[in-house]
Structure 1
Amino acid sequence: MKLSELQGKEIINMHDGGRLGIIGETELILNTLTGDLESIIIPNQGGLLSVFGEEKYLIIPWQAVKKVGSEVIIVDLEDGLQPQRASI
């Protein structure tokens, strides 16, 4: 799959139906040795801290991705694969 094919797809958590973000507003972490996609980094939407200039991000491991559809990417963040919160 090409990166351009992921552009514009919304990321949905299958556990709770939460809308996490859209590819295009995200960053991707690639393994420089293998070229494999390791994680998706999504800016946290809104929130009090973003008002004060401290932007938070969710880091979703690629192994949490269960299905890439025509319009959405389904992730499962229930089974110990909770997104990491980080300041970048």
Structure 2
Amino acid sequence: MECRGWELREKEVIDLSDGSRIGYVGDLMVDLEAGRVTALVVPGRLRLFGLLGREPDRVFPWQAVRRVGADAVLVEGDGLPRLWE
């Protein structure tokens, strides 16, 4: 199966450990020298409809990705909070 980077943005991220819906892929981190994806970034959820900002983004290293399907990306692990803006 082939998938382009922009097509990943349409896919929902699901945690394999408990089946919870984490969100949608918002960004990719790419190692330009090696030419490969290193992580998926899922934007944090809005707090009180966005009035209180949003939770930190979650970063899933590519090693945590178990499957990329037609509609979803299955990941294992909690995802690291994104510590930069």
TM-score (norm 2): 0.79
Unaligned runs of 5+ in 2: none
The alpha carbon displacement at 1:22 in A equals 1.3
C-alpha separation between the residues in 1 aligned to 2:10 and 2:54?
25
Q: Secondary structure at the match of 1:56?
A: coil
Specify the alignment match of 2:9 in structure 1: 7
C-alpha separation between the residues in 1 aligned to 2:53 and 2:9?
26
Percent identity for Structure 1 against Structure 2: 28
Unaligned runs of 5+ in 1: none
Q: CA offsets per residue over residues 11-51 of structure 1, 9 Å max, x none?
A: 1001011111113xx11100010111001111111236x64
C-alpha separation between the residues in 2 aligned to 1:53 and 1:47?
6
C-alpha separation between the residues in 1 aligned to 2:28 and 2:74?
16
TM-score (norm 1): 0.77
- Number of aligned pairs? 81
Specify the alignment match of 1:20 in structure 2: 22
What RMSD, in angstroms, separates the aligned Cα atoms of the two structures?
2.0
The alpha carbon displacement at 1:86 in A equals 2.2
Q: In structure 2, do the counterparts of structure 1 residues 6 and 53 end up closer, same or farther at CA, with 3 Å as the change threshold?
A: closer
Specify the alignment match of 1:30 in structure 2: 30
Q: CA offsets per residue over residues 23-80 of structure 1, 9 Å max, x none?
A: 3xx11100010111001111111236x6444651101111111011111110011xxx
